[in-house]
């Protein structure tokens, strides 16, 4: 395994290497064995391709299985629930086989008209005993049909902190600028917010991540942290193609559950070409 750690100065902000601290929900586009376009939802450490954890809708958290609240799609400002079309399956990373979901990208699932499609995966809030607080996660991934702009510049998470792209997230190439702003649940920008960045060396044509087998993904890893500027936005230049995930850590929501703090982590993944 080759470790890739970067130190950049971007938009006046240092990008600093950090250690892996939390699981991230990542959405990976792929082509299945029958040639169908799919998006797989996995919950692990993208920066290391390790510590895969199972996910299932409607279940309560356990040691190896995390409960999802919902999976839905946004297109033309309309929300479509994907719980019924998300296919429960299993996936293997580093020899660990755990529960995941795959979403067919087809007309039945709601993907057929020109424009932007935003897949959203929302976790249940779960208790972190060693931190003494609850954490809730939400993840987004963007797909575009026919180059028509419809939804990507919009806020799509109702009363939740969110990262909103300021450039077309489906059209970011290695070496070009990705910009975004972060907002709290009230829709106000969050200055100096912590953004965790994780990189996975992955291309949309690949169907496996099991690094224990020969001939699969040649894994490079990176994890770093930046902060938004005084206006609540950030800029980043992905140095190479692959899947880059940006997570707003504790999105300034000031909520509690049963008197305990609720930390809300909101992420966006982009497939850099």
Q: Is 147 exposed, middle or buried (0-12, 13-18, 19+ CB in 10 A)?
A: exposed
Number of domains in the chain: 1
Lowest mean pLDDT among 10-14, 39-43, 84-88, 104-108: 10-14
Give the tens place of pLDDT for each residue, 188-234.
Answer: 999 999 999 988 877 666 655 544 433 334 444 467 889 999 999 99
Would you say 82 and 74 are in contact if contact means Cβ atoms under 8 Å apart? Answer: no
Rounded (10°) CA dihedral 144, 53, 160, 14: -80
Beta-carbon contacts of 129 under 8 Å, excluding residues fewer than 6 positions away, are none
Lowest mean pLDDT among 75-84, 116-125, 142-151, 192-201: 192-201
Evaluate if residue 131 carries a pLDDT over 80.
no
Give the tens place of pLDDT for each residue, 137-165.
Answer: 999 999 999 999 999 999 999 888 999 99
Range of the domain at 231: 2-272
Look at 167 and 200; give whichever has higher pLDDT: 167
Rounded (10°) CA dihedral 201, 69, 81, 181: -50
Percent share of the chain, pLDDT over 70: 82
Residue 252: the pLDDT is 63
């Amino acid at each position: 395994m080759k470790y890739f750690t970067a130190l950049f100065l971007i938009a006046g902000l240092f990008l600093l290497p950090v250690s892996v601290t939390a699981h991230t929900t990542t959405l990976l586009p792929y082509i299945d064995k029958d040639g169908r376009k799919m998006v797989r939802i996995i919950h692990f450490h993208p920066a290391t391709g390790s510590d895969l954890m199972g996910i299932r809708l409607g279940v309560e958290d356990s040691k190896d299985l995390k409960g999802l609240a919902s999976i839905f799609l946004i297109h033309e400002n309309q929300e479509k629930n994907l719980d019924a079309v998300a296919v429960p399956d299993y996936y293997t990373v580093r020899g660990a086989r755990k529960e995941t979901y795959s979403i067919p990208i087809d007309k039945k699932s709601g993907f057929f008209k020109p424009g932007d499609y935003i897949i959203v995966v929302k976790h249940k809030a779960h208790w972190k005993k060693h931190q003494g607080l609850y954490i809730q996660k939400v993840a987004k991934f963007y797909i575009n049909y026919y180059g028509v702009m419809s939804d990507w510049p919009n806020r799509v998470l109702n009363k939740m902190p969110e990262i909103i792209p300021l450039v077309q997230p489906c059209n970011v190439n290695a070496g070009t600028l990705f910009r975004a702003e972060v907002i709290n649940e009230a829709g106000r920008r969050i200055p100096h917010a912590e953004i965790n960045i994780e990189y996975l060396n992955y291309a949309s044509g690949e169907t496996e991540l099991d690094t224990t087998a020969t001939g699969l993904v040649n894994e490079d890893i990176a994890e770093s942290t930046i902060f938004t500027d005084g206006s609540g936005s950030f800029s980043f230049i992905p140095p190479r193609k692959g899947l880059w995930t940006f997570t707003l850590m504790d999105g300034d929501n000031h909520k509690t559950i049963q008197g305990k703090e609720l930390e809300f982590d909101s992420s966006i993944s982009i497939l850099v070409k």
